[in-house]
C-alpha cells in the first residue's frame, strides 16, 4: 500500500449554516448536500449559484442527467433543473453515508457497517458488497478506480481500494482537523470532498498513475 499526505489544493466556504454531507459533480457544478437542501457550487468562483429544496442528509450522486440523494432510509432520484423527485428506492440501511454512480449502478457507503454496496438504481436491490476495515463516508469511481473517504474520531483518510477484494491500495491522510464526508472525482486529477460541520468543500489532488488519465473521464455534461 502507498501512503502519503493528502494535498489540499483549494477550499470553498465555509457556507453559513451548512453541515456538508454528500458531494457530486455534474461536469460544471459541484453539488453538496446540507441537510434541508442541495446546493450547486461554481468551482471557478466558489459561489453557490442555486439551491434545490429537498431533504439531503447524506450521500449525493449524478448519473449524467439526474441527481440521486440519500435521505434517511431512502434514495431520491431528482431532476436537477426543477428539483422534482422523479422516483424513490429504499436505501440499504445501516447508516448510509456515501453515494456514487458508476457502471450503471449506484454505490452506497455504509458508515458504521464499514461496507460499500453496489445497488440497482431502479429497485435498490443489493448486487454485491465490498467490506472495509474503516468507517466509510464518501464514495467515488474514476478511471476504473474505487476511492472512498474514512472518518473516525479526529482521523480521516482518502483510500483507493481493490473493488474485488477491498484491499487498500493507496491511502491519503488528511491534515489534522479536516474530515471527509462526501466525495466525488472530477474525472481528472481532482477530488471534491465535503467537510462536514466545517461547512467547507475541499479540493484534493488525485495521485495519477502513468496511463490512468484519459479513459473513463467525465465529459462536460458529467457523463462518464
Domains along the sequence of the chain with CATH? 2-205 (2.130.10.10)
How far apart are the C-alpha atoms of 160 and 174, rounded to whole Å? 14
- What pLDDT is stored for residue 211 in this prediction? 52
Radius of gyration of the chain (CA): 15
Q: What is the DSSP letter of 94?
A: S
Picking from 84, 78, 82, 87, the residue whose alpha carbon sits closest to that of residue 59 is: 78
| 180 in Cβ contact with 193 (< 8 Å) | yes
Cell, residue 100: 456514487
**pTM as predicted:** 0.91
pLDDT in tens, the chain (224 residues): 889 999 999 999 999 989 999 999 999 999 999 999 999 999 999 999 999 999 998 999 999 999 999 998 999 999 999 999 999 999 998 688 999 999 999 999 999 899 999 999 999 999 999 999 999 999 999 999 999 999 998 899 999 999 999 999 999 999 999 999 999 999 999 999 999 999 999 999 999 765 554 444 332 233 32
Residue 215 sits at the vertex; the CA angle it makes with 166 and 58, to the nearest 5 degrees, is 50
How far apart are the C-alpha atoms of 28 and 219, rounded to whole Å? 10
- What pLDDT is stored for residue 215 in this prediction? 42
CA distances from 154 to 57, 157, 191, 202, 207 (A): 21, 10, 20, 17, 23
| 67 in Cβ contact with 61 (< 8 Å) | yes
**Longest distance between any two alpha carbons in the chain, whole Å:** 44
Cell, residue 17: 449554516
Give the number of C-alpha atoms closer than 13 A to the C-alpha of residue 4, restricted to the C-beta side: 11
How many Cβ atoms sit within 10 Å of the Cβ of residue 192?
A: 25
Amino acid at each position: 500500500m502507498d501512503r502519503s499526505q493528502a494535498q489540499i489544493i483549494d477550499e470553498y466556504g465555509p457556507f453559513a449554516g451548512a453541515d456538508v454531507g454528500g458531494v457530486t459533480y455534474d461536469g460544471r457544478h459541484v453539488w453538496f448536500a446540507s441537510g434541508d437542501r442541495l446546493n450547486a457550487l461554481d468551482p471557478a468562483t466558489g459561489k453557490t449559484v442555486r439551491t434545490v429544496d429537498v431533504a439531503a442528509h447524506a450521500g449525493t450522486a449524478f448519473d449524467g442527467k439526474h441527481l440521486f440523494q440519500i435521505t434517511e432510509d431512502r434514495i431520491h432520484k431528482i431532476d436537477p433543473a426543477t428539483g422534482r423527485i422523479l422516483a424513490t428506492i429504499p436505501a440499504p440501511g445501516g447508516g448510509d453515508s456515501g453515494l456514487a454512480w458508476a457502471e450503471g449502478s449506484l454505490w452506497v457507503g455504509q458508515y458504521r457497517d464499514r461496507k460499500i454496496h453496489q445497488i440497482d438504481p431502479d429497485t435498490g436491490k443489493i448486487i454485491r458488497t465490498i467490506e472495509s476495515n474503516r468507517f466509510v463516508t464518501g464514495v467515488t469511481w474514476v478511471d476504473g478506480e474505487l476511492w472512498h473517504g474514512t472518518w473516525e474520531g479526529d482521523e480521516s483518510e482518502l483510500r483507493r481500494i481493490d473493488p474485488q477484494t477491498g484491499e487498500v491500495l493507496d491511502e491519503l491522510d488528511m491534515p489534522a482537523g479536516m474530515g471527509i464526508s462526501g466525495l466525488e472525482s472530477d474525472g481528472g486529477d481532482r477530488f471534491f470532498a465535503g467537510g462536514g460541520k466545517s461547512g467547507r468543500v475541499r479540493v484534493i489532488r488525485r495521485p495519477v498513475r502513468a496511463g490512468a488519465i484519459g479513459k473513463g473521464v467525465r465529459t462536460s455534461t458529467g457523463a462518464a
